[in-house]
Every structure is written in C-alpha cells, then in structure tokens.
Amino acid sequence: MSLWHQARRSARLNPSIIREILKVTEQPGVLSMAGGLPSAETFPVEAIRAACDAVLSQAPREALQYAASEGYGPLREWVARHLAGKGMTLGPDQVLITTGSQQGLDLIGKVMVDAGAPVAVETPTYLGALQAFNPCEPIYASLAGDADGPLPGSISALPHDAPGTRFAYLVPNFQNPTGRVIPEARRSALVAAAQAARIPLVEDNPYGDLWFDEPPPPPLASRWPEGVIYLGSFSKVLTPGLRLGYLVAPPALYPKLLQAKQAADLHTPGFNQRVVHEVIGNGFLDRHVPTIRKRYQSQCAAMADALALDMPEGTEWQRPKGGMFFWLRLPAGCDAMALLPKALAAGIAYVPGAAFYAQTPGHAADPRTLRLSFVTLSPEDIADGVATLGRVLREHLDGTRDEAP
C-alpha cells in the first residue's frame, strides 16, 4: 500500500507534451517555432519600472498587504470599460481578476464540471484549457468545425437534457493552435444554437487585440451576456510574467467563482494588479498594442512567404489575420510527431498538432497537423527555419517514395 494515496482525478493530471517538447527546443542553436510565448521585444520594461516606483511610492502598504479576492477596484473598472468598448454590457462587479487567465479556466472547471459531465471543445483546442478542466474529469465532446470555426449544428447536437453539457469552450479570435478567427455570421449562428440548446459558452480571448488589418467581430459575450463567461489576459498585450488575467461572469455565477478564487490563492498579487493598472492608465495600450500588431504582422508575412516558397506540394495552411500561429496540415504520409526528432536534428522545432486534440471517442487527432509560432523569431530566422522544415519534409517524402515498391 502506497503511503500517498492519490485522488482519482490525479490520473487526469499529466505532463504537458508541449512542456516536454519545449525543454528540448530550448537547446541553444535550435530555431524554435514551437513556443506559445509572446515576443519579449514587446515588453514595456521602462513603463513597468516606472509603475513599480509609482506604486511603491504612492501606496506601498496597500500594494504589499493582503487584498480583496475580487481584485483591485480600479483595475476591475478599467476592464469593464475596456470590454464595454468591445460591445459588451457589464459592470465592474462582474469582473474577477485572476492569476493569469489559466486560473480562470481552473475556477470555471471547479465550479461547473462534475466527473463524467460533458464539456464541449473545439477540434483542435487550446491545450491549457484541457489541462485546467481535466482534474474535474469531464467527458469531452469534440465540436466538428471548418475554416470558420465550430459548426453551429455541432452545438445543437450536444447533450442538453438537464444537466447536459456544462459549457462549450471557444477561442473565437486567432485561436491557439489554428490561428483562425470566427467571422461575424458564424458567431451569430453559434450563439443562436447555444441559446436554443441552453448550453452556456466559455469565451477565451487572449489574442483578440493582436489583429493585423481589422479587429475581429464583437465577442460572443456581447450577444448573450447572461450565457457567456468571458476570459481576458494581459499576457499577450503587456507581459505574461506578471500573471494577470480576468474573467467576466454573469451575476448568477460570479459569487461561486469568487469563492473558488479565494480558496485557490486568496487573491492575485495586489502589487502586480496596481503596477499593471498604473501602466495601462492614460491610454498606454492604445499606443503600445499597435506596435505589437505591426511587429507580428511583418513576422506573419515572412512566414507566409517562406511557407509558399518552401513547403512541399500537398501542405495546407491558412494565413492568419492576427495572433501568433500558423497551423499546417502536412501532405499524406507525414506524421508531425514522428518527424519531430528529424526536425530537431536539423535545428528547428514545432509543436505536433496531436497535442491539441481532446481525447474523446470518435475523434482521433490528425497526425498530419503542426503548429508554428511566428512571433519569437526574426523574419530572417523565420525564412531559415521554414526552409529547414521544408527540406526535412521533402527528404521524408522522398524517402517514403524510395521505400515504396
């Protein structure tokens, strides 16, 4: 008998395949397109330094003391105003500051997901959401989709007898991993289908501000305020290392999420909340985020050019309209996981797409898919990295043909 008897849910906690891959790709000399990190070049270091000074001068005791679980009042008000600008209807009392939006996913799972309850996710979906929900032992329903996102019919088909599907988790803007944005018409149809089936939505929006030519359509939450939990983050527009995100919940659900937050870590660091509020006051993001968009857009263009030049025939991708990622489908006969060691040996890294599929009956991961990030390499390194990927793929395909009888 083991001394440390673990809970049943512990079997659903597993090492992240991405994490394991990233360990390998952090070797010097590897051109990594595997990361999900924003570019450190975009971090406003001097603004953060000035904000630290200001907070420690103006309110050191308040910033360093225990604080309210809901979050710092002025920051909650800022979030409410910011989201009202995106068309959402909400009050600051619906805003819960979280330790990164990853924590928001953890709290949602805790409050809403029983063991064996259905939770719907996109195909593929954000791996971190699966990790957050897994300890609650849901049964995943994998939503069928196309280039515009999940199909409304796949929402209608979900189990919705009480208690039914607890929620459908969607990343409408520049999704991780596929990069696709759900267009206006599909958003309307998805919300209508969810309303008809009475299936709540969890809308995760870490990338929405990283658009290139035009902003994405208004959030799902603006269309159905009482039926959507909305998650936002400062990680991609400011810095991830301060671990600052937020969720917006309907009043019916907010108190339980707040109590779960309090039980989880009492509150998100008050110092960090005040520093970020100090930075973003006075319209800072209106000046700062366009510089990130411009940078990422040129990196995206470099990757699009390189892919067009270097990918073997039969490779499929869509050029993203924002965000950080290309999603590739390799030609028949290519398995992205099996090819990764060859890619690493050639000095490049990516994430095999298989990591992003929920384990669910009837939906196998597509082994031909992979994710490439374009935000942490220079345009020159992107060109080199994609050329190397193309060479690895062509060598593999040539080898496959040689082996054929």
Contact positions with a copy of itself (CB under 8 A) in 264-283: 264-272
Task: Select 233 or 369, whichever has its Cβ closest to a copy of itself.
Answer: 233
Cα dist from 38 to 23, 66, 73, 272, 325, whole Å: 17, 30, 27, 19, 11
Please give the full DSSP string across 281-331, using - where no structure is assigned: GGGHHHHHHHHHHHHHHHHHHHHHHHHHHHSPTT-EE---SBSSEEEEEPP
Please give the residues from 126 up to 155 whose contact with a copy of itself meets the rule CB under 8 A: 128, 131-132, 134-136
Q: How far apart are CA 157 and CA 282, in angstroms?
A: 46
Distance between CA atoms of 229 and 218, rounded to whole angstroms? 15
- Under the binding rule (CB under 8 A), the answer on residue 177 touching a copy of itself is no
Q: Which residue number, 235 or 369, has a Cβ lying nearer to a copy of itself?
A: 235
Among 34, 113, 158, 181, which residue interacts with a copy of itself (rule: CB under 8 A)?
113
Cβ–Cβ under 8 Å, residues 155 and 227: no
Candidates 84-92, 98-106, 302-310, 328-336; binding stretch for a copy of itself (CB under 8 A)? 98-106
CB 123 within 8 A of CB 145: yes
Distance CA 286, CA 112 (A): 35
Chain centroid, CA 283 distance in Å? 25
Q: Which is nearer to a copy of itself, 237 or 392 (CB)?
A: 237
| Comparison of 153 and 255: residue with beta carbon closer to a copy of itself | 255
CB 107, min distance to a copy of itself, A: 9
Dist. CA 342–CA 67, nearest whole Å:
50
Q: State which of positions 153-172 bind a copy of itself (CB under 8 A).
A: 162-164, 166
Q: Residue 81, interface with a copy of itself (CB under 8 A)?
A: no
Nearer to a copy of itself, 44 or 217 (CB): 44
**Residue choice 250, 347, 367, 390 for contact with a copy of itself (CB under 8 A):** 250
- C-beta of 68: minimal distance to a copy of itself in Å? 9
Q: Of the candidates 263, 308, 338, 364, which one interacts with a copy of itself according to CB under 8 A?
A: 263
Phi, psi of 141 (to 5 degrees): -110, 125
| Contact pattern from residue 37 through residue 66 relative to a copy of itself, giving x for each residue in contact according to CB under 8 A and a dash for the rest | xx-x--x-x--xx--xx--x---xx-xxxx
Virtual CA dihedral for 337, 339, 341, 342, nearest 10 degrees? -170
